[in-house]
Amino acid sequence: MDKDGRLKLAVQKSGRLTDPSLDLLARCGVKLSRGKDQLVGFGENMPLDVLFVRDDDIPDLVQEDVCDLGLVGLNVLEEKRLALAARGVRASFESLRLLDFGRCRLSIAVPEGTSWTGAASLAGKRIATTYPQLLARYLAERQVAAEIVTLSGAVEIAPRLGRADAICDLVSTGSTLDANHLEEVETVLESHAVLIRTPVALAAVKSDWVERLLLRIDGVQQVKESKYIMLHAPRAALEEIRRLLPGSESPTIIPLEGHPDKVAIHAVCRENVFWETLESLKRAGASALLVLPVEKMLS
């Protein structure tokens, strides 16, 4: 669908992915104007519009090419993939990037005090879930016959209502399970956010913007852990110091005016720099150590 040449990106309207998705877009330099309760955000400095929708609808919107891109949880994506496969349809949305937010897991939980000796404990039991496909696959892989009770929400209260003996639901902090006296016993799927795109070829202008967005997303994901480190070192200790710099490729070595035996070293470290590392560097002869956060990165 290409009515106006603007990219359409589907984002969860309200839920665990909403804030981090908007934060990612902001870090990628997207300025959105969005009035209160508006379901579309207009990209002011990019031909990109953000559609705020239910997360469960995102795979369909992208698969059916209503939206070009979507930010969605792997849990929703995999459930949809299996549901399509069950109808003989092949999922054709393409995953572009795994993202480092929206981490949670789809887990089996049982009422506190229930005896548990592995998946076999579910045999003959009723399990409530909003993820019937993923649960069915989990059970089939373990050759466990159980009844799947498909609900559209409030899964965690099903055992208390006598509708199920166990549940299969998303867990992130675990506080929903705690509040309902349920105990997590096994993980069905580890999940995180994913950026997906339509299977349909995009017009050149749009695909250029997708490429630019991807480069920026990569940059944003890299800088989170990266630090810029500057220090002075005796030339004699150069090898030792390079070895100690965590995750740095080729540091810049700069001569120091008036100190022929010393150099300044600047390096991007793609891991966090801890006090222990600074102490080792100092022991190796480094001085004037400075660690700075990295704001943007483009390689």
20 counts as binding ligand PRP under rule CB under 6 A? no
x/- mask, ligand PRP, residues 199-228, rule CB under 6 A, reads: ------------------------------
Residue 174 binds which of Zn ion, ligand PRP, none (CB < 5-8 A, kind-dependent): ligand PRP
Residue 265 binds which of Zn ion, ligand PRP, none (CB < 5-8 A, kind-dependent): none
Nearer to ligand PRP, 30 or 76 (CB): 76
What separation in angstroms does the CA of 87 have from each of 59, 73, 80, 119, 137? 15, 22, 11, 27, 15
55 counts as binding Zn ion under rule CB under 5 A? yes
Q: Which tokens belong to 290?
A: 């400075």
Nearer to ligand PRP, 161 or 298 (CB): 161
176 counts as binding ligand PRP under rule CB under 6 A? yes
Q: Which tokens belong to 110?
A: 């049982």
Among 11, 166, 170, 245, interactor with ligand PRP by CB under 6 A: 170
174 counts as binding ligand PRP under rule CB under 6 A? yes
Q: Which tokens belong to 21?
A: 């998705």
15 counts as binding ligand PRP under rule CB under 6 A? yes
x/- mask, Zn ion, residues 164-203, rule CB under 5 A, reads: ----------------------------------------
Please check whether residue 85 is in contact with residue 44, taking contact to mean a CB–CB distance below 8 angstroms: no
Residue 171 binds which of ligand PRP, Zn ion, none (CB < 5-8 A, kind-dependent): ligand PRP
CA dist., res. 40 & res. 281, Å (int): 51
Nearer to ligand PRP, 172 or 187 (CB): 172
Among 99, 119, 171, 263, interactor with ligand PRP by CB under 6 A: 171
Nearer to Zn ion, 167 or 229 (CB): 167
Closest distance of CB 93 from Zn ion, Å: 17
Among 117, 143, 175, 250, interactor with ligand PRP by CB under 6 A: 175
x/- mask, ligand PRP, residues 140-159, rule CB under 6 A, reads: -------------x-x----
Among 22, 46, 55, 108, interactor with ligand PRP by CB under 6 A: 55
Residues that bind ligand PRP (CB under 6 A): 15-16, 55, 153, 155, 169-176
- The binding site for Zn ion (CB under 5 A) comprises 55-56
